[in-house]
Amino acid sequence: MTQERVVVTGLGTLNAAAGSVADFRRALLGGVCGIGPVTVFDTDEFRTHTGGQVNGFDPRRSIPKPLSIKRMSRSDQLAMAAALEALADAGLWPMPEALRHDTGVIIGGGAGGMLACEAEYDHWLKGDRQPVYSRFAAFCCASSADHIATQLALMGPKTTFMTACSSGATAIGFARDMIQSGQAPLMICGGTEPLCRITYAAFNALQAVDPEFCKPFDQHRLGMSLGEGAGILILEALSHARRRGARILAEVLGYGVSCDAHHMTAPDPQAGGAVLCIRAALEDAGVTAGQVDYINAHGTATPANDAMESRAIREVFGERAGVVPVSSTKSMTGHTLGAAGAIEAVASVLAIAHEFLPPTVHLHTPDPACDLNHVIGRARRADVKVVLSNSFAFGGNNTALILGKFTEKGIGHA
């Protein structure tokens, strides 16, 4: 039986570089970096003070009434705002009543409502007031999917993934599976993540954070820049998208997952899990390494990760490893952890739809251990038909997405 093809019909994002998809496209084309001072909490006691913060976000403007922002954490609000933008982009907002019964929600996350919980706990420690325990309901990272599904009255499959920095990508892959298995014709999927003290403290303690801004693949890189944001994609069965005359932005050709089985925080220096993941994604998509036009790298700017990922790319792509363009958009958004794979999927779809290669900014002296074809500084124009988007997370939780330009014949398995 021929499997249903799965297409992307809508995008939504808020991140440090942009407050909308249109702004994000302009930022990617211009190599605009959104990394700067963190102000959502006091950073005086930390060794670093910068990150990829979403500035100027007004949840009441982005989430109009009658939708409620009551008991929604910053992470929930970012996810809801991005979901509404994606639905509008797909021509599905206001949501048609007939679609609500079968539409599903799959969201990747990490810290969830931790920022709000930290504030409540801080007030309690200072004796300012008794904590309002109902506010802790937003602590769970699953609350973002819950709010989207409940407030939009969506009754299809709903779940949340926590696979660390690959959560958003894993959510997209699983949403594609839900459509292909006939569980739902339409899925809202992606990831969301807030900046919060506990995450910021943890990465500072690991000394994995650059005090200025991250420099992926650079010989003088010092670590990542933590970020926040949300990325949401609307996925549909091709037959469903055609029936309603939807505009198709790209196709989800396949994905792969694997585990390093190596270490809780350090990647496998031999890149065994990453290689398995990329090869599984290519096989699932029905494309070869020779067909990939662009790699949106995980590219965290930590010494170990960038070297490992470069090794994986050389292993899979062979002689093409120095030819296929590679970039890390984390250099502009910061590392948004649970949202990273989803925001990078949005960037990848924009690259396909608008025919350009996003750059890596702050890359001035490429590390010899990362000898790839880096897109540096500003975007390049290119006909992008197939994109590999990598997400390699703590615990060796690896996910690779293959996204492609939609054609009637199909690039992969048609």
Provide the annotated active-site residues.
165, 298, 335
- 131 class by beta-carbon count within 10 Å (0-12 exposed, 13-18 middle, 19+ buried): middle
**Which amino acid, 288?**
T
Q: Look at residues 287, 335, 338 and name the one whose alpha carbon lies nearest to residue 171.
A: 338
Q: Which CA distances in Å does 282 have to 107, 235, 312?
A: 23, 20, 14
φ, ψ at 187 (rounded to 5°): -135, 135
DSSP 306-375: HHHHHHHHHHHHGGGGGTSEEE-THHHH-B-GGGHHHHHHHHHHHHHHHTEEPPBSS--SB-GGG-SEE-
Instruction: Rounding to the nearest 10 degrees, give the CA dihedral for residues 290, 295, 298, 299.
Output: 110
Quote the DSSP letter at residue 397.
E
